[in-house]
Amino acid sequence: MATQHHDYDALPTNKCAPSWLQETRVILVVLAFIFLLELIARIIAPTLDFDRENIYAFPETISQLEDAAESSGKPKVVFYGNSLMLHGLDQTLVKEELKGLSAPDIESAKVTPVGTAMLDWVYLYRRYFSAQDSHPDVLVVGFVAHHIHDQEAIKLRRLSRHFVSKQDLPLLWKTDLKDFHLITQSVLCNISALEGDQPEHQLGILQTLVADYKKGLNRNNDLVSDWQQRLAQEAAQGNEDLATKETEETYQRMLRFITECKKHQVKVYFVPMPQPEIWDFNPEAQRLIEAKGMSVLDARSIPGMTPDDFSDGYHLGDSGKVKFSKWMAKQLSQHLQ
């Protein structure tokens, strides 16, 4: 133990100074600790939460779809998107409805990682479909307004870890990340489960240790976000160019997605999803989709759908799921003919 001495910055004697050998040992222990953490992170990753389970099952889901379609000869339909499509569509019901409508039968799968948007879908498609050379005949993409434009924030850790393949990292840096810090982070997240799944580890620990963590965090996030918006508005005041630029939506990511699908002769149906209130679908997005030879199946206003059909004001509940699935089957029956 240290002897008492009152010069805060001095060691009791120079002999107390750690040697190179000691410090090398310290560094080796720290490195071993990091590897151990990484190992644990990799082991727990597939069962970390429902979403991870879902993501880790994609290769199997896609492979099963491929096998089923190969043996049955039916067209392959993939319902693609995020939690809106995940909770909003019942595949069994769609198939039953298709039978009832005397439409061609289908083999289907859902690829719907929660909280994702267009950029995730671009890389997800490249990693799980293009890289395996296993393409669906039809891709049905469910979304609401912010999911498809380029102004949607990138969730870099998740994107880099679960959707971008190693081969696609240079593409990500070239087209989507310009900042050195972000590029470094994307590499770290791609190669390390500890880095890539960090938000879930943090959430798990803090939810256990800190009462009201989620409530308090959400409240704090709202406050900071409002504050930043206020600051941005103040900065934009008197600068009309800035104010106008912020409201402009662009769709380069969506065009890349369409190009990728088109390259593999995949027909894409874009489905603006139902919400408790009808939302504005940018006509420019629709024009671009149609100009590229793809279609929009507008589900924003399904007859008979009411706000009670939503479980949480955003996702479809049980009754909404039925209505949407029936509607979807009807649309598919017309288009698959």
Partner 1 sequence: MLLVASYFFYSCWDWRFLPLILTTTLINYFTARGIEQSDSPSRHKWLITVSVTASLGMLAFFKYWGFFTESAAEMLTWLGFHADIQMLNIILPVGISFYTFQTMSYTIDVYRGKIKATRSFTDFALYVAYFPQLVAGPIERSSSLMPQITNSRKSRPQGDFAEGLYLVMLGLFLKIVVGDNLGFIADGIFAEDRDKLTGTEALVGIYCFAFQIYGDFAGYSSIARGVSKWLGIDLMTNFRMPYLARNPSDFWQRWHISLSSWLRDYLYIPLGGNRGSKLLVYRNLMITMLLGGLWHGAGWTFLIWGGLHGLILCIYRALGNSIKLPALWGRILATVFFFHLVCLTWLFFRAESLAQAWEMLVLIFTHQEMTPLANYGLRMVVFFCAPLMAYEIWLDKAHSLRRLETVRWGWRAAVYCYFVFMLIVFPPPVFGQFIYFQF
Q: What is the dihedral of CA 15, 18, 20, 26, to 10 degrees?
A: 160
Is 72 a residue that touches partner 1 (CB under 8 A)?
no
Residue by residue, DSSP assigns 114-179 as: TT--HHHHHHHHIIIIITTT---SEEEEEE-HHHHSTTSPP-HHHIIIIIS-GGGHHHHHHHT---
Taking the complex as a whole, how short is the minimal distance between the CB of residue 39 and partner 1, in angstroms? 14
Is 2 a residue that touches partner 1 (CB under 8 A)?
yes
**CA dist 186 to 47, 113, 148, 172, 279, Å?**
22, 19, 21, 9, 33
Query: Binding partner 1 by CB under 8 A: which of 19, 71, 208, 265?
Result: 19
* 100/199 with CB nearer partner 1: 199
297, two tokens: 């199946």
Backbone angles phi, psi at 147, to 5 degrees: -70, -25
* 194/268 with CB nearer partner 1: 194
Segment (H or E) for 62: helix 58-72
Residue with tokens 């409530």: 215
Counting every residue, how long is the chain?
Answer: 337
Is 180 a residue that touches partner 1 (CB under 8 A)?
no
Is 51 a residue that touches partner 1 (CB under 8 A)?
no
List the beta bridge partners of residue 79.
Answer: 110, 140
Query: Binding partner 1 by CB under 8 A: which of 39, 131, 206, 235?
Result: 206
Select from 5-13, 119-127, 245-253, 260-268 the region that touches partner 1 (CB under 8 A): 5-13
Residue 270's SS3 state is strand
Is 29 a residue that touches partner 1 (CB under 8 A)?
yes
Helix, strand counts (H, E) of the chain:
17, 5
Taking the complex as a whole, how short is the minimal distance between the CB of residue 239 and partner 1, in angstroms? 13
Query: Binding partner 1 by CB under 8 A: which of 176, 195, 260, 309?
Result: 195
Is 224 a residue that touches partner 1 (CB under 8 A)?
yes
Taking the complex as a whole, how short is the minimal distance between the CB of residue 86 and partner 1, in angstroms? 26
Is 201 a residue that touches partner 1 (CB under 8 A)?
yes
Is 43 a residue that touches partner 1 (CB under 8 A)?
no
* 22/47 with CB nearer partner 1: 22
Question: Which chain residues interact with partner 1 by CB under 8 A?
Answer: 1-6, 8-12, 14, 16-20, 22-23, 25-27, 29-30, 33-34, 37, 194-195, 198, 201-202, 205-206, 209-213, 215-217, 219-221, 223-224, 226-227, 230
